[in-house]
Structure 1
Amino acid sequence: MARGGQGLARVAVVVRAGAAPLWWCGVFAAGIGVLVPGLTGRRIGVPAGAALFLVAAAVTACVRRKRYAALVRSAARAGKQDVLQDRAVTVRNWRRGHRWWLVLAFLAALGSSFAVPAAGGMLLAGVGAGLWLKAGWLGRRERAGETLIWVRVDWLGRRAGAPAGKPVKACRATGVAAGDAAPGGARRR
C-alpha cells in the first residue's frame, strides 16, 4: 500500500457479496424442504415461506438505509494514495469471513423444514433478494451523485462486516470510472 494510503472496498460490493450465497442456500433448502412433509404440511409451509420471503426481502432492503444515506452524503473524496480493492477480492473476503455462518444458516433452514416445510429456505432466499435490492438502491444513489462510495477495509473487520456498522465512521467517494465494479456492485461490462 502506498505511503499514507488506505485500502478501500466498495460499499455496494460488500452489500451484494452475500446476496448470491444466501439466495442459493435458501433456494436449495426450500427445494429440499418441500420434499419433507413436516409437522404443518406443505399447504401451510409453502405459503408461510412465501410470506417470510417477502417480509425478509423488504426488511433486509430497508434496514440501515438512513445510516447508508448519511454516510453517502458525508463521503469525502478519496486521495491519490488510497488503494481501491478489486471487486473479486472484496467478494472473496466477505464469503470467506462468513462461510460458517452461511453453512449454519443453510442447516438451520433445512432443519426447520421438519416443522414448516420450505419456510426456512424461503426466508434465507428473501434475505439474499433483499441484499440485491439494497445494492440496487445504493447503485441508484451512486448514479444520481455520479460517485462511487468506498469504505476503509480495516473498518470492515476480519470478517468483512457491514459497511454501515458501528466501526465505520465515514466513507470515501471516487468518480464512476474508478474500480472494476459498476454502480450497485455488479461486474462492469
Structure 2
Amino acid sequence: MARGGQGLARVAVVVRAGAAPLWWLGVCAAGIGVLVPGLTGRRIGLLAGAALFVVAAAVVASVRRRRYAALARSAARAGKHDVLQDRAVSVRNWRRGHRWWLLLAFLAALGSAFAVPAAGGLLLAGCGAGLWLKAAWIGRREQAEDALLWVRVDWLARNGGRPAGKAVRSYRSTGIAAGDAAPGGARRKTAALV
C-alpha cells in the first residue's frame, strides 16, 4: 500500500461470509439425513436437531461479543491511504480459506445422520443462522454509532479469518457510506434510476 496505507475488510462482511454456506450445507445435510432412519429414528433426530439448531444459533450469535464491542469502542478513523476491500473479495477470501472446513463439517453432518437423523445438519444450519444474527448485531451497532467497522486484512489472514481473534489489535472506522456493503455486511441497495 502506498504511503503506509492498509488493506481493510469490513468486520460484518467477514462475520457474515460463513453464514450462507453453513446454512445451505446444513439444510442439505438435514434434508438428506431425514431419508436415513438412523439409530434413534427420524422423530427423535428432528427434535434433537431443532434443539441443537436453537442452541447453536444462540451460542454463535453471542460468543466474543465483548471482544467485538471493545474493539469497536477503540476503533481509530481509517486513513486516506487505507484501501477498502470490496464485499465480494472479502467473502471470496473467507470462503476460499475455509472451504475444506466447510466440506468436513458437511460430511460430518451427513455421517451423523446414521445415528441421529437430520441433527447434524440442523446444528450446521444453526451455526449459519448464528453468524447472520451476529452480523445483524454488528450492523445495528454500526448504525447507532454512524460508523462502519473495518479490520486490517493482514491481521485477518494471520488470525485464520476471525475478525475478533488475538492477532486483531484494533478496528478502523469510516463513515456509514463507505464501501459497497450496508451496515451488517449485506449488499448495499442501489437507488432505482428514475
The one-letter amino acid paired with 2:13 is V
CA contact (8 A) 1:97 1:158 kept: no
CA contact (8 A) 1:93 1:160 kept: no
Structure 1 CA distance, aligned partners of 2:74 and 2:159?
25
Sequence identity of aligned pairs in percent? 83
Question: Which residue does 1:72 correspond to in 2?
Answer: 72
Deviation at residue 2 of structure 1 after TM alignment: 2.2
CA contact (8 A) 1:156 1:163 kept: yes
Q: How do 1:73-92 and structure 2 match up within 5 A? A: 73-92=73-92
Question: Does 1:125 find its partner at 2:98?
Answer: no
Question: Which residue does 1:15 correspond to in 2?
Answer: 15
Question: Which residue does 1:106 correspond to in 2?
Answer: 106
Question: Does 1:162 find its partner at 2:162?
Answer: yes
Q: Tell me which stretches of 4 or more aligned residues in structure 1 moved more than 4 Å.
A: none
CA contact (8 A) 1:108 1:120 kept: yes
Aligned-partner SS, 2:79: coil
TM-score when scaled to structure 2? Answer: 0.96
- CA separation of 1:168/1:150 partners in 2, compared to 1, >3 Å: closer, same or farther? same
Question: Does 1:149 find its partner at 2:152?
Answer: no
Aligned-partner SS, 2:98: helix
Aligned-partner SS, 2:150: strand
Aligned-partner SS, 2:2: coil
Deviation at residue 60 of structure 1 after TM alignment: 0.2
Deviation at residue 97 of structure 1 after TM alignment: 0.1
The one-letter amino acid paired with 1:73 is R
Structure 1 CA distance, aligned partners of 2:103 and 2:160?
17
- Stretches of structure 1 that go unaligned for 5 or more consecutive residues are none
Structure 2 CA distance, aligned partners of 1:47 and 1:187?
34
How far does the alpha carbon of each residue in 1:55-102 deviate from its partner, in whole angstroms, 9 at most, with x for none?
000000000000000000000000000000000000000000000000
Deviation at residue 150 of structure 1 after TM alignment: 0.2
Aligned-partner SS, 1:81: coil
How far does the alpha carbon of each residue in 1:19-66 deviate from its partner, in whole angstroms, 9 at most, with x for none?
000000000000000000000001110000000000000000000000
Question: Does 1:26 find its partner at 2:44?
Answer: no
Deviation at residue 158 of structure 1 after TM alignment: 5.8
Question: Which residue does 1:184 correspond to in 2?
Answer: 184
Aligned-partner SS, 1:181: coil
Question: Which residue does 1:46 correspond to in 2?
Answer: 46
- Stretches of structure 2 that go unaligned for 5 or more consecutive residues are 190-194
Structure 1 CA distance, aligned partners of 2:159 and 2:117?
32
Q: CA RMSD in A?
A: 0.9
TM-score when scaled to structure 1? Answer: 0.98
The one-letter amino acid paired with 1:69 is A
Structure 2 CA distance, aligned partners of 1:159 and 1:27?
28
Structure 2 CA distance, aligned partners of 1:97 and 1:112?
25
CA contact (8 A) 2:159 2:165 kept: no
Question: Which residue does 2:62 correspond to in 1?
Answer: 62
